[in-house]
A and B are shown apart, each in its own frame.
Chain A
């Protein structure tokens, strides 16, 4: 399976999925008006990946802004990861938030509460 790289736009994040390394990154703003249409092919790509995944898969979420339509779709992402874990795959989620952004911390904490996957909340600063 080839890597998936989608460049960031004003209202959609950069997607960098590397199936060889098992490292999947989503970073930037996620504010599309119709998040369902935007993310559907990406969700399908991940489902396909989990048919034959790496030994370990790490998801790095580094989101600055998220609208509520995207919040809902991100839960679909996490549900796929959750199902992969239930099927015996080794998965982990890193949720990065800016050190002064309690709102993005809260979003991560809420996802961690809903799903049952190793989930680490990692603070970073713009100087990092």
Chain B
């Protein structure tokens, strides 16, 4: 695997996860993320997980988290480069001996940071059962946004990963920051 990555957003991953072993990266993508790219990337991820002969439940959890991350980027990412019409972001799947990491990121307008932080704080340090209650409440009371989001994404990914969710924001300029989120999925 190439360890001399100099791509625009990869440096954010290095800062976010300083202990990253780049030789364990199964998949890295950055650029425009739309329906077709999402489908291609999740096809690759599915193939990687199958070839690693992971238990089906592990494959499904990693796959599901990747789908939600990519669909979140395709729906919600802001673009600091207005020449780009497709939502931009990055996604990384890392295969360690004991677990997988899924790391996803995209630019967001700084004024949206408080709302994103609120969604994340809502799921941090919650037990599996508390996440379940939260999920049911949001399922019953939430409404689908005009972007097709159900407000369930972070809750569902948190409970699928069964591990604490980490996130960070890196300032890009006065208007935008780069939002990154990391999920750990243990192998059984």
Contact = CB atoms under 8 A, between A and B. Distances in A.
Interface of A: 10-11, 31, 33-37, 64-65, 67-69, 71-73, 75, 98, 100-103, 106, 110, 113-114
Given A68-B68, A69-B148, A71-B152, 11 more contacts: A10-B43, A35-B144, A64-B60, A65-B67, A67-B67, A72-B152, A75-B139, A75-B140, A101-B57, A103-B61, A114-B139
Contacts of B132: 106, 110
Interface in B15-74: 35, 38-39, 43, 55-57, 60-61, 63-64, 67-68, 71, 74
Q: Is the interface of A mostly helix, strand, loop or mixed?
A: helix
B142 interface: yes
Interface of B: 35, 38-39, 43, 55-57, 60-61, 63-64, 67-68, 71, 74-75, 132, 135-136, 139-140, 142, 144, 148-150, 152-153, 156, 160
B57 A102 contact: yes
Q: Is the interface of B mostly helix, strand, loop or mixed?
A: helix
Nearest to B152: A68
Instruction: Sort A-B residue pairs by CB-CB distance and give the 10 closest, nearest first.
Output: A68-B152, A72-B150, A34-B148, A68-B150, A68-B156, A68-B153, A69-B148, A36-B144, A69-B150, A33-B71
Nearest to A35: B148
B60 A101 contact: yes
A11 B43 CA distance: 11
Given A33-B35, A33-B75, A114-B140, A101 B56 contact: yes
B57 A110 contact: no
Contacts of A101: 56-57, 60
A110 B152 CA distance: 14
A100 B56 contact: yes
